[in-house]
Structure 1
Amino acid sequence: MNSRSDNVLVFTDLQRITGYQRRSDVERSLIDQGVRVFRGRTGPWTTLDLINQAAGIKPAAPDRYDADIL
């Protein structure tokens, strides 16, 4: 993956994921699917969390412990 961190998807990642090559096609495809896209100098980018959110997948809640474990 060409992303700068594990969560960020850069233009080349988005081209591979969507199957489109032109910036406008990549952006339109993602926006039509409800993914928030940011426009950077090297092309559009987004995050895996924003893609999951558009798909209706919620992040896992952190483990919560009761006072009984003390």
Structure 2
Amino acid sequence: MNGNTIGVLTFDDLKRITGYARRADVERTLHDQGIRLFRGRTGPWTTVELVNQAGGLKAAHQEQYGVEIL
């Protein structure tokens, strides 16, 4: 993981985790696993929380973000 505090998994993180280098392969794999992803300028990204949700884990606490993070 890239070490940031909100648990964002970047395209580089996702390539390393999935073992795929092509964007389409990474996106397909995430989709097939039920992991919600976002498409950014530098490639797809997701969060650790969304990966955990796809795996059936519940968040220990609900953290709400305002629109200013966008």
Scaled by the length of structure 1, what TM-score is found?
0.79
Where do 5+ consecutive residues of structure 2 fail to align?
Answer: 63-70
Cα deviations by residue, 1:2-53 (Å, 9 ceiling, x for unpaired): 3644410000000000000000000000010000010000000000000000
Where does residue 37 of structure 1 map in the other structure?
Answer: 37
TM-score by length of 2: 0.79
Runs of 4+ residues deviating >2 angstroms: 1-6
Determine what percentage of the aligned residue pairs are the same residue.
65
Q: Please tell me whether residue 17 in structure 1 is matched to residue 17 in structure 2.
A: yes
- Alpha carbon RMSD of aligned pairs, Å? 1.7
Determine which structure has more spread, i.e. the larger CA radius of gyration.
1
For residues 1-70 of structure 1, what are the structure 2 equivalents within 5 Å?
1-2=1-2, 4-61=4-61
- The alignment covers a number of residue pairs equal to 62
